[in-house]
Amino acid sequence: MAASLTSLATRSPDEPVKILLVDDQPGRLLTYRAILEPLGEHLVEASSGVEALKRLMEDDFALILLDVNMPEMDGFETASLIHQHPRFEKTPIIFVTAVNVTDMDRLRGYKLGAVDYVMVPVIPEILRSKVVVLAELHRKRLELQAANVKLEAANRALQAEQARELEVLNESLRNANAALGAQNVELHGEIAERKRVEQLLREADRRKDEFLATLAHELRNPLAPLQNALSIRRLSDSSGDPGLQQVMERQLALLVRLIDDLLDIARISQAKLTLRKHPTLLSDIIDSAVEVARPAIEQGGHELVLAVPEEPVALVADQARLSQVFANLLNNAAKYSEPHGRIELEARADADAGRVEVEVRDSGIGLEDAQIHRIFEMFSQVETEVDRTHGGLGIGLTLVRRLVEMHGGEVSVASEGLGKGARFGVSLPLEHPPAVPPQPESPTQTGSDVHKRVLVVDDNRDAADTLAMMIEMLGHPVRRLYDPQAVVAEMEAFHPDIVFLDVGMPGLSGYELAPQLRAMPGFEELEIVAVTGWGQPEDRRRTGEAGFDEHLVKPPALDAIRRLCEQPVRSVSGRRERVDG
């Protein structure tokens, strides 16, 4: 087992995978090999079902290309025996057949583990495309397993290191206490030692916050090509299941939200989270929160009842952050309510008291007194049964309390007990925005008339390729580069209007490259957009100082990309407000 784990951790993701070709006709085996050899994978042949089973016992394969019609043991029987073995129950199988199979045969094949059918004569492009997808999925699965192995090893090492540090600390304290009874003069040494340990704990807490921020950044990088691929799929009007598209987009948005929550907790702990207050309306804040929480509410089949004042309630607040507060409360109500429950959101303004009161009520599992006292603690989750889990990181309500307090408000919770629901109340100061004279609107050019030349620069090939494909589908000429050293030459040859530039690239970072592009003659109107996994205020300030016009956080939203590409070329003196993806 240990050797297997070590092999997973050291295996190169680019190493060829093994593909088993099973057919009783040598001519077909030769055809399969001729079609698939250009892929660079390791091809293994078997001329019968029995030989295929023998090959499987000797080695692992990424996928199996299996002939349906074979003497002695046909493809269906072979597939059944393969997937009866726990080791190969998830090995994908592509059936090859020279006759048209009935729907019942197809159903039988899929039940036996087939992922697809290929008809004879085999079309090389179709077969190669199917094999490429399954081989890449196998590599990704191996990469994930290797990452899990490394993470487990790192966790064990961290636990061992913590145990050693704790033992050192305990030994130091024992020695100090023993010496205290004999010599009172050593009291000052013990105090100094305690201060040293306290400093170590503070430093460890600081490193933890930095780790959370770095982890969120590293997780954003692989999300960017996934988000881009989903946007491409939507733009291409794919004939696939639209429900599947929505599921993937919804789950990706959930993952991005979890990463944002991790970042927010790190920022709050480091006192780096800032609010962007501006005049806004309470109704706009609640509408935005409901839109964010609606998928969770609809998934549970809950009834949502809103009671919001008809007259506008003006506030001076960070609209995005307050929307996050109420979205977290609505998501929390949906998560901890049984299906088809009732969720109520009631808002009221008390001008005399100068407060805005918002209450979210649910008919869910309720809270005990002990749970009420710790519900806002970080990583705290409510569970009423051992076998019940509601998911999440346990930081949503912590963010609610911190963000409300940063707005000068208070948050409270009440429940009549288990099974009787819960009530969360948010009280905010009623601040009236100052009167601002209306500004005349400047005429803008419609997006359909704008065709910008776009250059995408990212050392992550998947991120660069998918972003370029998405922009090309929006109707703009685009080129992509993976090497930052080649950008200057490409600028002279292509003369782009806008550059989407990754910030963290080896050899030449975006911070170094952006000033060079800004200083090139003839590119005074060039727009430079930072595309990065870092999104904290100091990161935005740094990109602004480096000469970037915009700052998009990975994964960039399709609407943000479309808006940047379709807005008219700006003048040298006109800088737009920086947007977030």
For 98-119, what is each residue's pLDDT tens digit?
776 666 767 777 776 667 888 8
Measured between alpha carbons, how far is 307 from 502 in angstroms, rounded to an integer? Answer: 45
**Spatial contact of 62 and 17, defined as CB atoms under 8 Å apart:** yes
Measured between alpha carbons, how far is 267 from 265 in angstroms, rounded to an integer? Answer: 5
User: What pLDDT does residue 269 have?
Assistant: 64
Token code pair at residue 96: 């090859």
Token code pair at residue 223: 């999300």
- Which CA distances in Å does 163 have to 169, 175, 194, 211, 446? 10, 18, 18, 20, 63
- Which CA distances in Å does 458 have to 21, 217, 449? 38, 15, 28
Token code pair at residue 244: 């599947």
**HSE of 438, CA atoms in CB hemisphere, 13 A:** 3
User: What pLDDT does residue 575 have?
Assistant: 43
Measured between alpha carbons, how far is 383 from 100 in angstroms, rounded to an integer? Answer: 53
User: What pLDDT does residue 293 have?
Assistant: 87
Looking at 421-534, which runs of residues are DSSP E strands?
Answer: 422-429, 454-457, 478-481, 498-502, 527-532
Looking at 231-331, which runs of residues are DSSP E strands?
Answer: 278-281, 303-307, 314-317
- Reported as a single tens digit per residue, the pLDDT across 225-284 is 777 777 777 777 655 666 676 667 666 666 766 676 666 666 666 666 677 788 989 998
Task: Give CA 146 to chain center in angstroms.
Answer: 20
Residues of the chain short of pLDDT 70, as ranges, are 1-13, 100-103, 105, 112-114, 180, 205-206, 208-210, 212-213, 216-217, 220, 237-243, 245-247, 249-254, 256-258, 260-273, 377-395, 432-450, 569-581
- At residue 92, what are phi and psi to the nearest 5 degrees? -70, 145
Angle CA 498–499–500, to nearest 5: 125
- DSSP, collapsed to helix, strand or coil, labels residue 327 as helix
Looking at 436-576, which runs of residues are DSSP E strands?
Answer: 454-457, 478-481, 498-502, 527-532, 550-553
Residues in the chain: 581
